[in-house]
Amino acid sequence: STADSLEGCLDCLLQALAQNNTETSEKIQKSGILQVFASLLTPQSSCTAKVANIIAEVAKNEFMRNSCVDAGLIPPLVQLLNCKDQEVLLQTGRALGNICYDSHEGRSAVDHAGGAQIVVDHLRSLCSKTDPANEKLLTVFCGMLMNYSNENDTLQSQLINMGVIPTLVKLLGIHCQNAALTEMCLVAFGNLAELESSKEQFAYTNIAEEIVKLFKKQIEHDKKEMIFEVLAPLAENDIIKLQLVEAGLVECLLEIVQKTVDSDKEDDIAELKTASDLMVLLLLGDESMQKLFEGGKGSVFQRVLSWIPSNNHQLQLAGALAIANFARNDGNCIHMVDNGIVQKLMDLLDRHVEDGNVTVQHAALSALRNLAIPVVNKAKMLSAGVAEAVLKFLRSEMPPVQFKLLGTLRMLIDAQAEAAEQLGKNVKLVERLVEWCEAKDHAGVMGESNRLLSALIRHSKSKDVIRTIVQSGGIKHLATMATSEHVIMQNEALVALALIAALELVTAEKDLENAKLVQILHRLLSDERSAPEIKYNSMVLICALMGSEPLHKEVQNLAFLEVVSKLRSHENKTVAQQASLTEQRLAVES
């Protein structure tokens, strides 16, 4: 066709596409003119922009995208990205963006032709121009890169390596008045922020400042939601957490909480949840957490405290999780316990004993467990009645609650003989522990139950506690625990068993025999991989077991002397010394 009649044909096609895109696209596909378009996409032609526009329109249909690739349209389109004409650039960006949308073939072809780099370069050079035509072009180019890399880690990494992140952040700052462009930037951020490598790059930009500034301006729920979707993955990075705190995000979040807490509108409930969850996430960074704690005087810390007695479950949950996060160093824990936080958490637990909210129970127990770590807090928390408050949840059938309950009790009784004795004589507790020691489906609960059983004996050193544990069938679990893959658990089991043998050997004799403890000890001593402290405590235990006739016989039947005499030359002095003592004892008793 001549240029004039060609122009008419193209106008006609655009009109038909405007009226019924799908039907017209099918006809274009069947007619074979897509191949003709490839030859019309030249920088010299006056029709180029219209041809690119037609391609952009037909590529809105999923069934047309592969046809566009097969017709060889990608290389000439990518070539057009080098031209200066703004309308051609706009339509070419649209065409490539639509072809890439959800199309693996489209993306591969653009990648192969080197299209992404040219677009990134354009974004960089056009970034500072704020005229409407340029902003429209920037929006199209951002959208094209979005469609090109969406949910594709390899292509996202490629864009990150091309340095697209600082450019997008700059765009956001300069064009924050342009809704369409800021929205495109946000979607692109959300897309890239999931990748670990992107977070390092984001941390070197002023993204925190820009995004908080943008957030403060938003009134509509959807826009806030969009920014939240970018903030959540970014806030996983500790450097960015601190930047967000310094940029004033926390104040924005607290304001949202205040505005939405009493509302029953769906949007407000969602916003309250997102804001309070994000608040908790910011407290996971050590520096950001300490900055907000401000020695326990911080207004943020005080506000979060006020969430705990609230009637809103989401706020109770976030408040308890926040306290658990503040309770990550001894100084904070001691300050909080001295300032009455324990009572607040116990009151919260009390409200959730009967048919309570499991996530709130779990969070409050997590906070109490962390607060019980410093030595000086243990006695204070015990006298405040924490153990009794926690024991109310013994009936819980929820493994996460069981796990935290066990951890809290174990922290509380560490080196607290009286409390350990009191709990160790509590038959209900011990029976429940023995039951949970068999919770094969929940390794965490099983491990914690074993550790608490052992801790009750180790910290109380009480005959009554040992008798309660023997009567409840706990011995076999301690023997099994001695074979754990974790050295710390093996050790705790061996020390508890040595105390049993020293204080109540007669009571426990039958159970120790049935648990095949002597064979277990033989295996531990023979195994070269056993840690030195395991070898040492196994030998101490062997000596203690010699006081029982049936167990003594078992020791004689297994070649213990042989194994022990080898350990006399062990590189660890303490193990070597204990081997000499044990050898003498075995020799005398044999």
pLDDT tens for each residue of 402-440: 999 999 999 999 999 999 999 999 999 999 999 999 888
pLDDT tens for each residue of 319-342: 999 999 999 999 999 999 999 999
Q: What's the one-letter identity of residue 588?
A: V
For residue 335, give the nearest of 305, 366, 365 by alpha carbon.
Answer: 305
pLDDT tens for each residue of 151-178: 899 999 999 999 999 999 999 999 988 9
Band of residue 484 on the pLDDT scale cut at 50, 70, 90: very high
Query: Whole-structure pTM over 0.85, yes or no?
Result: no
Identify the pLDDT of residue 562. Answer: 87
Which tokens sit at 336? 């909080």
Band of residue 529 on the pLDDT scale cut at 50, 70, 90: confident
**Res. 586: pLDDT tops 80:** yes
Q: What's the one-letter identity of residue 229?
A: E
- Between CA 17 and CA 45 the distance in angstroms is 22
- Between CA 132 and CA 267 the distance in angstroms is 33
**Res. 2: pLDDT tops 80:** no
Identify the pLDDT of residue 1. Answer: 59
pLDDT tens for each residue of 490-512: 999 999 999 999 999 999 999 99
pLDDT tens for each residue of 354-389: 778 899 999 999 999 999 999 999 999 999 999 999
**Residue 30, C-beta contacts closer than 8 angstroms, at least 6 positions apart:** none
CA distances from 202 to 194, 197, 278, 325, 530 (A): 11, 9, 18, 25, 46
CA distances from 8 to 28, 40, 47, 129, 437 (A): 16, 14, 10, 34, 82
Which tokens sit at 397? 């059938």
Identify the pLDDT of residue 7. Answer: 86
What average pLDDT does the segment 77-87 reach? 94
- Between CA 410 and CA 572 the distance in angstroms is 31
**Res. 32: pLDDT tops 90:** no
End-to-end CA distance of the chain: 111
